[in-house]
């Protein structure tokens, strides 16, 4: 069986048997067993269900880390093909099955050919979708137990022509943060508002004022950001002024400096509005994902490797940043590296959006990914 046939078989098997974050027991076992069969040193249960494979060749102390994510989503698949999910309500709707299969294929080829000088770390990460897997592997010693000079990752992207690569130096993906604001008042009878304090009026003022953060606190040229209020809930009813209001929302930006400004500005607005109205509040801000920031030298390595595989005209090394988020960002805070996107296709086969119940990874790009990883290792560890 050719390597292309094997990688396709692996990909479709993983798609058929998806597992949610930190539940990737069978997927991780399959990955570890395959790596061991290639003659690669394997470390299991790194960051709960993560796997690290280590392949050394030659005498150099240089190293490179290649990362693939393994987890699926809680989505009920609507596809009817033979490799559709058999696990009810769980689906590989983001292509992590393809990412895992491509890195397995690259591990097989690199172990067979050994045309490099140094050490390759194959990092199979759990729990990416909720921003917990990369942190778990880091906390379990990913970058302290092993010397990894630089780390790279790849993700498919529907709507981009099949096998085309995109990346950029600097921020390629935004941070994702959520906030929760609780306003506490006395409430009261709807006919007698003067006898209490009304959190709805205060909450409405907060929602309006939050819209000034991006337009009045951040640079219109250098600090792109989005802030959205997504929930507004009370404990009131038709003739009862509530005693509390809960406001929740989401914010995205591309630098840590912008993120810090947004977090402080939200609390400043909430504190001011609540003090003015004589009510109390609580405020919680949570960073699910940091912005994904590629380093310049590693981006150049990634672009050159992609050009060797698909040609210069199919590689965009200066793409626009995306407001979606990725927990590979936490790994890029530890060591230099680069995150690239590969086109899943812009037709009916590959153009279905990520996180859609009809999505499927395009098997036609599997070998593009395998060859990209191999080229990256062989050029950087030449």
pLDDT for residue 195 is more than 90? yes
Q: Is residue 359 helix, strand or coil?
A: coil
**Would you call 176 helix, strand, or coil by DSSP?**
strand
pTM of the predicted protein model: 0.94
What percent of the chain is modeled with pLDDT above 70?
100
Q: Which two tokens stand for residue 26?
A: 């069978």
- How many CA within 13 A on the CB side of residue 40? 31
Rounded-to-integer distance, Cα 262 and Cα 16, Å: 41
Nearest to 346 by CA among 91, 164, 219: 164
Burial pattern 278-307, b for ≥16 Cβ within 10 A else e, equals ebebebebeeebbbbbbbeebbebbbbbbb
Give pLDDT tens digits for 296-337: 999 999 999 999 999 999 999 999 999 999 999 999 999 999
Residue tagged active-site, from 128, 129, 162, 378: 128
Mean pLDDT (the chain, rounded): 97
Report residue 348's pLDDT band, with 50, 70 and 90 as the boundaries. confident
Residue 256 falls in the annotated catalytic set: no
Say which CATH architecture domain 175-289 belongs to: 2-Layer Sandwich (3.30)
Q: What is the pLDDT of residue 121?
A: 99
Residue range 142-178, pLDDT digits in tens: 999 999 999 999 999 999 999 999 999 999 999 999 9
Catalytic residue (one of 71, 109, 298, 360): 71
- Catalytic site residue 149? no
Residues 103 and 68: beta-carbon distance below 8 Å: yes
Distance (Å) of CA 311 to CA 49, 305, 363: 36, 10, 20
Fold observed for domain 3-171+291-380: Aminopeptidase (3.40.630)
DSSP per position, 332-356: HTTS-EEEEEEEEESSTTT-SPTT-
Q: Which helix (H) or strand (E) holds 232?
A: strand 225-234
Q: Look-up: residue for tokens 């790596």? A: 35
Displacement of CA 194 from its chain's centroid (Å): 49
Domain ranges of the chain: 3-171+291-380, 175-289
Q: Which of the 8 DSSP states describes residue 161? A: P
């Amino acid at each position: 069986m050719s390597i292309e046939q094997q990688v396709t078989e692996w990909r479709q098997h993983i798609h058929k048997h998806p597992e949610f974050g930190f539940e990737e027991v069978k997927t991780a076992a399959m990955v570890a067993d395959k790596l061991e069969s290639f003659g690669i040193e394997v470390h299991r249960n790194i960051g709960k269900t993560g796997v690290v494979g280590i392949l050394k060749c030659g005498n150099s102390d240089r190293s490179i880390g290649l990362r693939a994510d393994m987890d699926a989503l809680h989505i009920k698949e609507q596809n009817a093909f033979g490799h559709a999910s058999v696990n009810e309500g769980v689906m590989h709707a983001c292509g992590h099955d393809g990412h895992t299969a491509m890195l397995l294929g690259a591990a097989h080829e690199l172990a067979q050919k050994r045309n490099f000088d140094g050490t390759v770390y194959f990092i199979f990460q759990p729990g990416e979708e909720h921003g917990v897997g990369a942190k778990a592997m880091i906390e379990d010693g990913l970058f302290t137990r092993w010397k990894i000079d630089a780390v790279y990752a790849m993700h498919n992207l529907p709507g981009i022509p099949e096998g085309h690569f995109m990346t950029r130096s600097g921020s390629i993906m935004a941070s994702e943060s959520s906030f929760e604001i609780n306003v506490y008042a006395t409430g009261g009878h709807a006919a007698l508002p003067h006898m209490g304090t009304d959190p709805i009026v205060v909450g409405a003022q907060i929602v309006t004022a939050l819209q000034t953060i991006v337009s009045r606190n951040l640079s219109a040229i250098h600090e792109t950001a989005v802030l959205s209020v997504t929930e507004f809930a009370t404990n009131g009813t038709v003739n009862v002024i509530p005693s509390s209001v809960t406001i929740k929302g989401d914010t995205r930006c591309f630098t840590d400096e912008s993120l810090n400004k947004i977090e402080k500005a939200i609390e400043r607005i909430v504190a001011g509005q609540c003090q003015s109205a004589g009510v109390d509040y609580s405020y919680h801000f949570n960073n699910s994902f940091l912005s994904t920031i590629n380093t310049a030298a590693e981006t150049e390595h990634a672009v050159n490797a992609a050009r060797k595989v698909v040609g210069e005209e199919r590689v965009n090394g200066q793409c626009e940043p995306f407001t979606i988020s990725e927990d590979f960002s936490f790994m890029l805070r530890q060591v230099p590296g680069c995150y690239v996107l590969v086109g899943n296709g812009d037709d009916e086969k590959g153009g279905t959006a990520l996180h859609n119940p009809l999505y499927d990874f395009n098997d036609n790009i599997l070998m593009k990914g395998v060859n990209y990883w191999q080229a990256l290792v062989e050029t950087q560890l030449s």
